[in-house]
Structure 1
Amino acid sequence: MTGFFKFISYLKSQFILFKSIKFKSPLIVHFQWLKVPQIDYYLLKLIKLNGVKIIITAHNVLPHDTGDRYEDIYKKIYSLVDAIIVHSNNTEIEIIEKFKVSSKKIHVIPHGILDIGQNIDSKKIDYYVEKFRSDYDLDKRIVFSALGKINDYKGYDLIVDAWNKDNVSNNEQLMLFIAGKGKHRKLDELKGKKNVTILNRFLLVEEFLAILKLTDFVLLPYTRISQSGILLTAINEKKRVVVSNIGGLADSFKFGEIGYILPELNYIELNKAIMHMALNVDAYPKEETWNKIFEYFDWENIGLKTQNLYSTL
């Protein structure tokens, strides 16, 4: 019943939005999310009939973690709107190939860096840093982490299989930290490993940031994604990453080496990457590299690019 009321509430909010558009007659409406695309499509059509141009930001090619369920309706939506903002060139190519959308309609504007610790008491973060360091014996260890909600698309099967190889699983210098809520059939295979810590629960923001600060390398062997909030948060903390070459995961590497891009998406390559990064743990990116990355993902620059798109339309 709760879902029903949420649905009715959403319909009501969209009706109010359309009334507001009718009353104020804007030149452009920019949508960041479409929660019920089958219904939102008809709202978009009504907006277009009123002479208003529409921009949609495609944070992902299709709604996150839904497979191809919405492919047909998004083909209609992408065809209808006047402009599509994507966060990476890979996403642009995927939309063009999958939906036959004109490249002139698509505009690449990056998603900004995420600083989730802005309003957090740093003393609380420091407390958890020391607690985790002591509780899990992290001193003098090279820490690899997989953080956030546990989902199949994040490549946990690859992480488990890569870590289970003897060269990693028997290496006491290394520690794998998996922290976040969710289920995955492969995680049980890591139980009992002395160099694995699994916190399978919801994390406080302070806990998340503490683990990130203790991390040397963040593992992001994602199988399907356009852009990652975990990646953008890790970059904000100047953390090195191991990424698959999909979506915008590898975009930062055009400014310099900040970790490792997997040449192929399988556990053997991930195992090689883990060993390579462990052997080169002291090879930190230059400050100049981080400065270029921060400039690229700067929210003010992103705002100007978005404003320029509005002006163009």
Structure 2
Amino acid sequence: MNSKRKEKITIVSRYVPDSEVSLYFSASNVLILPYTRASQSGVAHIGMHFGLPIIASKVGGISEALSNYKGAILVEPNSESICRAIVDVYCKGLEKFPVPENLRWENIANFWKLLLKNLNSDFEAK
């Protein structure tokens, strides 16, 4: 790696077990999803939960998953576009972004509680 800041860059190219996921996301400044094809990404949702700026390729369902997230930067799936977005993020200054309402834990829990309550009511009515 030729970067002057290589001591601040960590590339993890192995499976990361669930027990380590929050450590990596908490220590991250930006999440980069350089997919060339994808249907969706659970990683993008985790990045949103941690308020990270997310640079992602405009492929598959990634655009839809990130459509309401203020920290999303969607780029063409090529090295030049991804590199330009990384430079832009660092030049503008890093910031954290609010978690979208539909991804807040309280709202997810309330959705499931209401769904289960309705299912239970429907079941008891029969």
Q: Is TM > 0.5 for Structure 1 vs Structure 2?
A: yes
The secondary structure found in structure 2 opposite 1:260 is strand
**Number of aligned positions between the proteins:** 112
Which has the higher mean CA deviation after the structures are superposed, 221-230 or 248-257?
248-257
Contact 2:69 2:100 in 1 (8 A): no
Runs (4 or more) in structure 1 with deviation over 6 Å come to: none
Bigger-Rg structure (1/2): 1
The amino acid across from 2:10 in the alignment is F
Structure 2 gap segments, 5+ residues each: 119-126
Q: 1:279 to 1:171 in 2, by over 3 A?
A: farther
2:77 aligned to which of 265, 284, 295: 265
1:214 aligned to which of 27, 51, 61: 27
Q: Comparing both structures, which one devotes a greater share of its residues to strand?
A: 1
The answer to whether residue 81 in structure 2 is matched with residue 251 in structure 1 is no
Please give the alpha-carbon distance, in whole angstroms, between the structure 1 residues aligned to 2:26 and 2:94: 16
The answer to whether residue 16 in structure 2 is matched with residue 172 in structure 1 is no
The amino acid across from 1:203 in the alignment is V
Q: Which one has more relative contact order, counting CA pairs under 8 Å at least 6 apart?
A: 2
1:230 aligned to which of 32, 43, 47: 43
The amino acid across from 2:101 in the alignment is K
The secondary structure found in structure 2 opposite 1:219 is strand
- Report the aligned-residue RMSD: 3.0
Q: Give the C-alpha shift of residue 253 in structure 1.
A: 4.2
The answer to whether residue 111 in structure 2 is matched with residue 298 in structure 1 is no
The amino acid across from 1:275 in the alignment is V
Please give the alpha-carbon distance, in whole angstroms, between the structure 2 residues aligned to 1:255 and 1:203: 27
Contact 1:252 1:293 in 2 (8 A): no
Q: 1:244 to 1:228 in 2, by over 3 A?
A: same
Structure 1 gap segments, 5+ residues each: 1-163, 182-201, 308-313
The secondary structure found in structure 1 opposite 2:82 is helix
